[in-house]
Amino acid sequence: MVGETLTFNQPSLLKQEFELVSSKGIIATMVFPKLFSSQVLVEGFDGKWEFKSLSIWQREFGIFKYGYQMPFAKYISNFWRTKGTIELPKGARLYCKTAKFKKPFEVFFSDGNLLLSYSNRFALMGRTSVAIEKRSELLDKYPWVILLGWYIIVQNRKGRARA
């Protein structure tokens, strides 16, 4: 999927459900089971995971295999939610940067090369596109990272709405 633009769609404004769509169709879904919850169920890429807040300040999110109680990876952001780190199993890390408008979220390798780039389309249903900039074994092993970026964008929007 390198070079292909994937799109996050929200089919209904009344439901907190999102789809990751490629030219081949829906490849993953993300569902918030409760309206004001930070927990989300993610399914796709032959797997099922949960993302949820690990602290009341929502600066740290855990990634859980569906049905398990311990996170196997996590995302930690700085105080202003402008930068963050995705801590993967076996010590691997990806670094993130958040902006407000055109590129709301970017994911980088530890050497500074861009891996994922998210961009907003200001539409009523909140469409966001993601481009996979480089092929990566980390992305092959952990495809949920693509959905984690969108989850962080959604959580940051909720945080700004509360502030």
pLDDT, tens digit, 9 for 90 and up, residues 14-24: 888 999 999 88
Mean pLDDT of 1-24: 87
What DSSP string describes 110-157? TTS-EEEEEEE---TT--EEEEE-S--HHHHH-THHHHHHHHHHHHHH
Q: Is the pLDDT of residue 77 over 70?
A: yes
Q: Is the pLDDT of residue 28 over 80?
A: yes
Task: Report yes or no on whether pTM surpasses 0.85.
Answer: yes
Report how far apart, in Å, the C-alpha atoms of 111 and of each of 2, 9, 54, 96 are: 19, 31, 28, 12
Amino acid occupying residue 16: Q
Q: Please state the domain count of the chain.
A: 1
Mean pLDDT of 11-32: 91
**Structural domain of 43:** 5-162
Comparison of pLDDT for 160 and 31, the residue scoring more: 31
Mean pLDDT, rounded, of the chain: 86
